[in-house]
A = this chain, B = another copy of it.
């Protein structure tokens, strides 16, 4: 779908104006909008499924994979999930206006920081239409405007959901333009979006490496990357191997198609001979295909060899690369070289190795003795999330309500001048 008449910079300007209104809105009014959107969704279940079925049909015709079709599909359970997300965000504390770090200086100035909305968020995402609602819920609650740029696969669903969001906003007396959508799903509209620095304060690309690279190379607006998860679990020589086996099974098998699933298993050479055959049996039953380094293949003859490409691959599938390492240093080095700085875990009973791991591994979330699958805003107690940032500035890991704020300094004086 290509909307030739779309004037993106005009649209972004409208969102910016609406965002200024929203930034001043009271919590109760914002919550009223979220509840009205939930009501619109509830009332329009059939229409949502109808529009969604157009996307699903087009996707099947295009030959999209089963996994992508699955992510695209909005069934009754998922529509209910959207309503629940909105209710959850109603219950989150409004971050706007929170004052912190307040200090009185020797000259009597009172200096602190106040949380205010960032302004306008531009988010570029791929197949899941749920993102419209999750993102709008968070941006409305945090007083930010947002411009949604979804992929072509979900365009019918996205357009309907955004119109329902607009209706809910208007019913609560807020401007419809608080949430805008880009109708043009060609790559050119991304290029245009990332140049609108007079209107948009941050660009969040959620998706594959190609999209992220395109945005990073072209954006003149600050970017918060939400890209892939090449997650590791390192089973140390001092691991409780029974615990390790449960964690490694869960991290790989429980939901392999998501970014916090494990892609590489690192195993200490002293326990590899005992642990790997055990895991092979368990993984075989779950249909997990193993690819190993030379040392792994000495223990598990017959499995495929893992090349450097494997260490850099997010399989999102029942495939696992395995590497035997000599010590925690080699594990940390491997992770820092090959991980996508998302989520990595150590299983160990050594206090020293565990503490070294979480301090030295350069990833957004570092786990001791738990599955990387917990790397998620909801699991971490943040409520809903915009996505998971794997860059270092502003926010690392799950991006929640507070991360949609841009605290500024406020200074209360009584006539102070500088000498």
Write the residues of chain A forming the contact surface with B, with a CB cutoff of 8 angstroms.
23-24, 97, 103, 105, 109, 111, 114, 116, 118-119, 197, 201-202, 216-217, 220, 222-224, 240, 243, 246-247, 249-251, 254, 358-360, 362-371, 373-375, 379-381, 391-394, 396-398, 406-419
Give chain B residues whose Cβ lies under 8 Å from the Cβ of A369. Answer: 412-416
Give chain B residues whose Cβ lies under 8 Å from the Cβ of A366. Answer: 408-411
Give chain B residues whose Cβ lies under 8 Å from the Cβ of A417. Answer: 246-247, 249-251, 254, 370-371, 373
User: Are B202 and A411 neighbours in the complex by a CB distance under 8 Å?
Assistant: no
Complex alpha-carbon distance, A224 and B391, angstroms: 14
Complex alpha-carbon distance, A417 and B246, angstroms: 7
- Choose among B111, B246, B380, B416 the residue that contacts A415 (Cβ–Cβ < 8 A): B246
- Choose among B197, B222, B249, B408 the residue that contacts A397 (Cβ–Cβ < 8 A): B408
Complex alpha-carbon distance, A363 and B375, angstroms: 34
User: Are A97 and B380 neighbours in the complex by a CB distance under 8 Å?
Assistant: no
User: Are A396 and B391 neighbours in the complex by a CB distance under 8 Å?
Assistant: no
User: Are A243 and B415 neighbours in the complex by a CB distance under 8 Å?
Assistant: yes
Give chain B residues whose Cβ lies under 8 Å from the Cβ of A379. Answer: 105, 418
Complex alpha-carbon distance, A163 and B394, angstroms: 32
Pull 11 A–B residue pairs with CB atoms less than 8 Å apart, ordered by A.
A23-B360, A24-B359, A24-B360, A97-B359, A202-B392, A240-B415, A247-B415, A254-B417, A370-B413, A371-B418, A374-B416
Copies of the chain in the assembly: 2
Give chain B residues whose Cβ lies under 8 Å from the Cβ of A397. Answer: 408-409
Give chain B residues whose Cβ lies under 8 Å from the Cβ of A375. Answer: 409
Known: A201-B392, A368-B412, A393-B406. Is A418-B359 also a contact (CB below 8 A)?
Answer: no
Complex alpha-carbon distance, A247 and B360, angstroms: 49
Complex alpha-carbon distance, A105 and B366, angstroms: 16
User: Are B222 and A365 neighbours in the complex by a CB distance under 8 Å?
Assistant: no
Identify which of A103, A223, A247, A380 gathers the most chain B CB atoms within 10 Å of its CB: A380
Give chain B residues whose Cβ lies under 8 Å from the Cβ of A368. Answer: 410-413
Identify which of A358, A406, A416, A418 gathers the most chain B CB atoms within 10 Å of its CB: A418
- Choose among B114, B240, B249 the residue that contacts A358 (Cβ–Cβ < 8 A): B114
Shortest CB–CB separation between residue A363 and chain B, in angstroms? 7
Identify which of A119, A254, A408 gathers the most chain B CB atoms within 10 Å of its CB: A408
User: Are B250 and A358 neighbours in the complex by a CB distance under 8 Å?
Assistant: no
Shortest CB–CB separation between residue A144 and chain B, in angstroms? 11
The 6 A-B pairs at the shortest CB distance, nearest first, are namely: A370-B413, A250-B417, A392-B406, A373-B418, A365-B409, A243-B415
- Choose among B250, B359, B364, B392 the residue that contacts A409 (Cβ–Cβ < 8 A): B364
| Contacts beyond the supplied A105-B381, A369-B416, A371-B418: 8 A-B pairs with Cβ under 8 Å | A97-B359, A105-B379, A118-B393, A217-B220, A254-B418, A365-B408, A379-B418, A397-B408
Give chain B residues whose Cβ lies under 8 Å from the Cβ of A97. Answer: 359
Shortest CB–CB separation between residue A383 and chain B, in angstroms? 13
User: Are A250 and B418 neighbours in the complex by a CB distance under 8 Å?
Assistant: yes
Complex alpha-carbon distance, A329 and B295, angstroms: 71
User: Are B408 and A363 neighbours in the complex by a CB distance under 8 Å?
Assistant: yes
Complex alpha-carbon distance, A391 and B406, angstroms: 9
